[in-house]
Amino acid sequence: MMITVKTISTDLKSVREKSPLVHNITNFVVMNNTANALLAVGASPVMAHAVEEVTDMVNIASSLVINMGTLNPQWVDGMIAAGKAATKKGIPVVFDPVGVGATPYRNEVAARIVNECKPTFIRGNASEIMALAKENIVTKGVDSSASSNSAIEGAKRLATETGAIVVISGPEDFITDGKEVLSTKNGSTMMAKVTGMGCTATAVLGAFAGVNANRLEAATHAMAVMSIAGEIAAAKSAGPGTLQLHFLDTLYNLSEADIEKTFKA
């Protein structure tokens, strides 16, 4: 599969035209950043986690994002109910296994979400993907302690075992269905110094999955847009504080000409 400036721009245009409703069950740290990034890219975010309403919300959404950054048992009930309802309805489910490998509780919840919700996409950093793929890795909380290319074999196996498209983020992002491995090479080291950038990538993936049924394409386009916007924004930023602001403005204004100038094939 070939990802080009044209294919990325076409999907970005679809997100802006269709403004898919992305239902997020996400963590306390990133809720605001995530909602703002979805608005900036052209999608429509809603955050809803109560078990009493998640199935109704899924029924009007184009995609569901499950992010396990800050867990508690009530939220887990909401995640599982929403994930099952989305899979039954046939809308894409994007799972972000934040911090999996760090505690037994996170491992147990991640395994339940994978087994019971059958996510269509799993996006994590290298440590998280390796932990989920049961590779030998010592995780240190929510940040990666491994390089993204060291997780490729585990990601391929995880994709084959679960049927999900697996995305490893990092200096280079890798996207696999278990057979093919695509990559995107843009970005900035400064992106890892803003909390919630990975969660934002997962949510943006939800937006692209809501408009493009080709899952490998949707995931690669989403990661390309994230890292192109991050690279342009970082070049204008003195540090992580201004990067957060510039990132939203860059996502909002991102044009085909910007993609053409910046995209590293």
Ligand X SMILES: Nc1ncnc2c1ncn2[C@@H]1O[C@H](COP(=O)(O)OP(=O)(O)O)[C@@H](O)[C@H]1O
Ligand Y SMILES: Cc1ncsc1CCOP(=O)(O)O
Residues 206-245 that bind ligand X (CB under 6 A): 226-227, 230
Interacting residues with ligand Y between 113 and 172 (CB under 6 A): 142
| CB 28 to ligand Y: min, Å | 8
CB 205 within 8 A of CB 195: no
Residues near 157 by beta carbon (within 8 Å), at least 6 away in sequence: 133, 178
> Which is closer to Mg ion, CB of 65 or CB of 211?
65
Q: How many residues bind ligand X (CB under 6 A)?
A: 18
Report the nearest approach of ligand X to the CB of residue 108 (Å).
20
CB nearer to ligand Y: pick between 14 and 139? 139
Between CA 40 and CA 242 the distance in angstroms is: 16
Using the rule CB under 6 A, which residue among 119, 198, 206, 210 binds ligand X? 198
Of 116, 156, 38, 154, the residue nearest 165 (C-alpha) = 156
| Residue 201 is a binding residue for ligand X (CB under 6 A) | yes
Position among 7, 112, 149, 171 found at the interface with ligand X (CB under 6 A) = 171
* CA-angle at 144, arms to 159 and 175, nearest 5°: 30
Q: Is 169 annotated as a binding residue?
A: yes
Tell me how far apart the alpha carbons of residues 245 and 172 are, in angstroms, rounded to a whole number.
23
Range 130-189, binding Mg ion (CB under 5 A): none
| 78 is an interface residue for Mg ion by CB under 5 A | no
Q: Judged by CB under 5 A, does residue 97 bind Mg ion?
A: no
Residue with tokens 């949707």: 218
Task: Indicate whether 196 belongs to the interface with ligand Y (CB under 6 A).
Answer: yes
Residues that bind Mg ion (CB under 5 A): 98, 198
Residues that bind ligand X (CB under 6 A): 125, 143-144, 169-171, 173, 187-189, 191-192, 197-198, 201, 226-227, 230
Residues tagged in the binding site annotation for substrate:
47, 196
